[in-house]
A and B are shown apart, each in its own frame.
Chain A
Amino acid sequence: MRGITKRFPGVIAADQVNFSVRKGEVHGLLGENGAGKTTLMSILCGLYMPDAGEIFLGSREGTVEKVHIGSPRKAIELGIGMVHQHFRLVQSHTVAENCILGLSDKKMMIDRKEISDRITGIGGRYRIHIEPNSYVWQLSIGEQQRVEILKMLYRNADILILDEPTAVLTPLESQELGRTLRTMAKEGKAVVFISHKLDEVMAFTDRVSVLRNGKNVKTVETKNTDKERLANLMVGRNVVFASERPVFKPRNKLLEVTGVTAQNDKGVTALVDVTFSVKSGEILGVAGVSGNGQQELAEVVTGLRKSTDGTVKVGGVDLTNKTADKFISNGVGHIPGDRIGVGLAGNLPVSDNLIMKAFRSDVVSKGIFLRHDAIRDYSNKLIEDFDVDTPDRNTPVRNLSGGNQQKAILAREIMARAEQGPGDNGLLVAVQPTRGLDVGATEAVRKLLLAQCMQGNAILLISDDLDEILSVSTNIAVMFSGKIMGIVDGDYADISEIGIMMAGGNVNEI
Chain B
Amino acid sequence: MKIVIESRIETPRIIGVLVPVVSVGLALVFGGILMAVVGADPIETYSAMAEGAFGSPEQWKAGQYYSITETLVKAIPLMLTGLAVGVAFRMLFWNIGAEGQLVLGGVSASAIALWLADLVPGVPESAWVYLPVMAIAGIIAGGIWAVVPAILKAYLKVNEIITTLMLNYVAILWYQYLFNVAWKDPDGYGFPGSAKFGECCKIARISGRLHWGLGIAFVSAIAMWIVLDKTKWGYQIRLIGENTSAARYAGINIGKNIVGVMLLSGGLAGLAGMVEVAGISHSLQEGLNVGYGFTAIIISWLARLNPWGIVLVANMFAAILVGGDQIQMTMGLPGSVAHVLQGTMLFCVLGGEFFQRYRLAVKR
| Chain A residues within CB distance 8 Å of chain B | 8-10, 49, 302-304, 323-329, 334, 336, 338, 341-348, 352, 355-357, 359-360, 365, 368-370, 372, 396, 399
- Given A8-B9, A303-B251, A357-B251, check contact A345 B246 (CB 8 Å): yes
Q: How far is the CA of A323 from the CA of B252 in the complex (A)?
A: 9
Q: How far is the CA of A89 from the CA of B253 in the complex (A)?
A: 35
- Given A49-B4, A346-B243, A348-B239, check contact A356 B250 (CB 8 Å): yes
Q: Please, which residues of chain B bring their CB within 8 A of the CB of A302?
A: 249
List the B residue with the shortest CB-CB distance to A344: B246
Q: Please, which residues of chain A bring their CB within 8 A of the CB of B235?
A: 352, 355, 359, 370
Q: Please, which residues of chain A bring their CB within 8 A of the CB of B10?
A: 9-10, 396, 399
Return A365 CB to nearest CB of chain B, in Å: 6
Assess the B9–A304 pair: CB atoms within 8 A: no
Assess the A304–B249 pair: CB atoms within 8 A: yes
Q: How far is the CA of A368 from the CA of B231 in the complex (A)?
A: 6
Q: Does B233 contact A (CB under 8 A)?
A: yes
Q: Please, which residues of chain B bring their CB within 8 A of the CB of A348?
A: 238-239, 242
A-B pairs under 8 A by CB, number:
81
Q: Please, which residues of chain A bring their CB within 8 A of the CB of B157?
A: none
Within 8 A of A (CB), among B227-279: 230-235, 238-239, 242-243, 245-253
Q: Does B61 contact A (CB under 8 A)?
A: no
Return B278 CB to nearest CB of chain A, in Å: 30
Q: How far is the CA of A396 from the CA of B10 in the complex (A)?
A: 9
- Given A369-B231, A370-B230, check contact A325 B242 (CB 8 Å): no
Assess the A9–B232 pair: CB atoms within 8 A: no
Assess the B249–A49 pair: CB atoms within 8 A: no
A-B contact pairs, 25 of them (CB 8 A): A10-B9, A303-B251, A304-B248, A324-B249, A324-B251, A325-B253, A327-B251, A328-B251, A329-B251, A334-B249, A341-B245, A342-B246, A344-B246, A345-B243, A345-B247, A352-B235, A352-B238, A356-B239, A356-B250, A365-B232, A368-B233, A369-B231, A369-B232, A370-B232, A370-B235
Q: How far is the CA of A325 from the CA of B242 in the complex (A)?
A: 19
- Which residue of A326, A334, A345, A357 contacts B242 across the interface (Cβ within 8 Å)? A345
Q: Please, which residues of chain A bring their CB within 8 A of the CB of B234?
A: 370
Return A296 CB to nearest CB of chain B, in Å: 15
Q: How far is the CA of A304 from the CA of B247 in the complex (A)?
A: 11
Q: Please, which residues of chain A bring their CB within 8 A of the CB of B249?
A: 302, 304, 324, 334, 336, 342-343, 356
Assess the A369–B246 pair: CB atoms within 8 A: no
Return B204 CB to nearest CB of chain A, in Å: 32
On chain B, the number of residues with a Cβ less than 8 Å from chain A's Cβ atoms is 24
List the B residue with the shortest CB-CB distance to A328: B251
Mask, B11-22, CB within 8 Å of A = 1, is 000000000000
List the A residue with the shortest CB-CB distance to B252: A325
Within 8 A of A (CB), among B206-240: 230-235, 238-239
List the A residue with the shortest CB-CB distance to B236: A359
Assess the B251–A399 pair: CB atoms within 8 A: no
Return B231 CB to nearest CB of chain A, in Å: 5
Q: How far is the CA of A443 from the CA of B248 in the complex (A)?
A: 29
Q: How far is the CA of A341 from the CA of B245 in the complex (A)?
A: 7
Q: Please, which residues of chain A bring their CB within 8 A of the CB of B232?
A: 359-360, 365, 368-370
Q: How far is the CA of A115 from the CA of B252 in the complex (A)?
A: 51
Q: How far is the CA of A336 from the CA of B247 in the complex (A)?
A: 13
Q: Please, which residues of chain A bring their CB within 8 A of the CB of B4?
A: 49
Assess the B243–A324 pair: CB atoms within 8 A: no
Closest 9 CB pairs of A and B: A325-B251, A345-B242, A324-B251, A345-B243, A356-B250, A328-B251, A342-B245, A9-B9, A345-B246
Return A111 CB to nearest CB of chain B, in Å: 38
Assess the B9–A356 pair: CB atoms within 8 A: no
Return A342 CB to nearest CB of chain B, in Å: 5
Within 8 A of A (CB), among B273-303: none
Q: Please, which residues of chain A bring their CB within 8 A of the CB of B251?
A: 303, 323-329, 357
List the A residue with the shortest CB-CB distance to B10: A9
Q: How far is the CA of A320 from the CA of B76 in the complex (A)?
A: 50
Q: How far is the CA of A286 from the CA of B107 in the complex (A)?
A: 61
Q: How far is the CA of A176 from the CA of B249 in the complex (A)?
A: 38
- Given A304-B249, A370-B232, check contact A344 B363 (CB 8 Å): no
List the B residue with the shortest CB-CB distance to A355: B235
Return A202 CB to nearest CB of chain B, in Å: 35
Q: Please, which residues of chain B bring their CB within 8 A of the CB of A49?
A: 4, 363
List the A residue with the shortest CB-CB distance to B8: A9
Within 8 A of A (CB), among B78-118: none
Return B93 CB to nearest CB of chain A, in Å: 17
Q: How far is the CA of A326 from the CA of B231 in the complex (A)?
A: 21
Assess the B250–A324 pair: CB atoms within 8 A: yes
Q: Please, which residues of chain A bring their CB within 8 A of the CB of B246?
A: 341-345, 356
Return B256 CB to nearest CB of chain A, in Å: 10
List the A residue with the shortest CB-CB distance to B251: A325
Q: Apart from A303-B251, A370-B235, what 8 extra A-B contacts exist at CB < 8 Å?
A: A9-B10, A328-B250, A341-B245, A345-B247, A355-B235, A368-B231, A370-B234, A372-B230
Return B5 CB to nearest CB of chain A, in Å: 11
List the A residue with the shortest CB-CB distance to B247: A345
Return A55 CB to nearest CB of chain B, in Å: 15
Q: How far is the CA of A127 from the CA of B260 in the complex (A)?
A: 60
Q: Please, which residues of chain A bring their CB within 8 A of the CB of B243?
A: 341-342, 344-346
Assess the B239–A345 pair: CB atoms within 8 A: yes
Return A216 CB to nearest CB of chain B, in Å: 24
Q: Please, which residues of chain B bring their CB within 8 A of the CB of A323?
A: 251, 253
Assess the B9–A324 pair: CB atoms within 8 A: no
Q: How far is the CA of A303 from the CA of B252 in the complex (A)?
A: 11
Return A13 CB to nearest CB of chain B, in Å: 10
Return B246 CB to nearest CB of chain A, in Å: 5
Q: Please, which residues of chain A bring their CB within 8 A of the CB of B238?
A: 348, 352
List the A residue with the shortest CB-CB distance to B361: A49
Q: Please, which residues of chain B bring their CB within 8 A of the CB of A370?
A: 230-232, 234-235
Q: Please, which residues of chain B bring their CB within 8 A of the CB of A368?
A: 231-233
Q: How far is the CA of A9 from the CA of B7 in the complex (A)?
A: 11
- Given A9-B10, A10-B10, A348-B239, check contact A369 B248 (CB 8 Å): no
Q: Please, which residues of chain B bring their CB within 8 A of the CB of A346?
A: 242-243
Q: Please, which residues of chain A bring their CB within 8 A of the CB of B253?
A: 323, 325
Return A339 CB to nearest CB of chain B, in Å: 10
Return A275 CB to nearest CB of chain B, in Å: 25
Q: How far is the CA of A359 from the CA of B231 in the complex (A)?
A: 10
Q: How far is the CA of A372 from the CA of B239 in the complex (A)?
A: 16
Query: Which residue, B10, B246, B250, B252, has most C-beta atoms of chain A within 10 A?
Result: B250
Return B340 CB to nearest CB of chain A, in Å: 34
Q: How far is the CA of A356 from the CA of B243 in the complex (A)?
A: 12
Q: Please, which residues of chain B bring their CB within 8 A of the CB of A8?
A: 9
List the A residue with the shortest CB-CB distance to B12: A9
Q: How far is the CA of A357 from the CA of B235 in the complex (A)?
A: 12
Q: How far is the CA of A348 from the CA of B236 in the complex (A)?
A: 12
Q: Please, which residues of chain B bring their CB within 8 A of the CB of A356?
A: 239, 246, 249-250
Q: How far is the CA of A323 from the CA of B257 in the complex (A)?
A: 15
Q: How far is the CA of A8 from the CA of B8 in the complex (A)?
A: 9
Query: Which residue, B232, B233, B234, has most C-beta atoms of chain A within 10 A?
Result: B232
